[in-house]
Amino acid sequence: MVVLSVDLGNTRAKLGVYKDGFLIETRVLTSLQLNSLRQDYPNSSVAVSNVSKNEHVDLLKKTFGDDFFELTFSVRLPFQMSYDTPRTLGKDRISNAAALVSFCNNKPKLCVDIGTCIKFDFVDQNNVYYGGSISPGLRLRLAALNQKTANLPDLDFVKPSSFIGNDTNQSILSGVYFGMLNEIEGMIDLYLAKYPEMNIIITGGDANHFDFNQKYSIFADENFTLGGIYQIYLLNEK
């Protein structure tokens, strides 16, 4: 059985192709490639997590018909929800929580997803999801500095070589990067102070810019969200 796990994010769409339980292919999709998924994988089902434009979901629903599954807060989930507003909970965060339960042991577990936003999601040792936090990612911070000030430039992200910026561009990059680095490490420290045996997973499109393994015992998985979508699909197809 071939299942297409599709993560429609704020800045990109990512595909994971699962065959008989194994991830055999991943790629980032353009709008045109989304339109041709049914042709490219004719004997497949699709499972979609969407935090982006509904038009993509409508298209996939139309082309896949009965082979279409969309993740929502009301489908069967592998964890108990202890979140005050589940209707507002992002599908990507639901997917990450499902992946934590599916792939981690019976300890407290934390997913740090570094993309458009930095998202922390926590599941305890009894597989109860409590929530976490959301803050701006790299590009949102750079965009805000440009758009909300009169003179600061619009920069693409380049990892700074030093925390001391010796010109305006380097000062911005230093503030954004090292500010994020210390924010993430500070949040992890807060969790570890309360849950010292906690497992930590790092994922997201910008996670590769950061190296936390020198300080923490962390498992990095760039396809973690795709795995969560797939696990929720399997749970609901039984």
Q: What is the DSSP string of 96-110?
A: HHHHHHHHS-SS-EE
pLDDT score, position 56:
82
Interval 165-217: pLDDT, tens: 999 999 999 999 999 999 999 999 999 999 999 999 999 999 999 988 678 88
Instruction: Check if 92 is active-site.
Output: yes
pLDDT score, position 189:
96
Q: Are 97 and 112 in contact (CB under 8 A)?
A: no
User: How far is 218 from 185, CA to CA, in rounded Å?
Assistant: 12
Low-confidence ranges of the chain (pLDDT < 50): none
DSSP for residue 144 = H
Q: Residues 20, 66, 67, 92: which is the catalytic one?
A: 92
CATH T-level fold of 80-138+169-222: Nucleotidyltransferase; domain 5 (3.30.420)
Q: Do domains 2-70 and 80-138+169-222 have the same CATH topology?
A: yes
Domains of the chain, residue spans: 2-70, 80-138+169-222
Neighbours of 175 (CB within 10 A): 16
How many angstroms separate the most distant Cα atoms in the chain? 58
pLDDT score, position 212:
82
pLDDT score, position 227:
97
CATH of span 2-70? 3.30.420.40
Report the chain's terminal Cα–Cα distance, integer Å. Answer: 13
Q: Which helix (H) or strand (E) holds 120?
A: strand 117-123
Q: Which two tokens stand for residue 140?
A: 């949102």
Q: Which helix (H) or strand (E) holds 17?
A: strand 13-19
Helices 224-237 and 91-103 meet at what angle, rounded to 10?
80
pLDDT score, position 104:
86
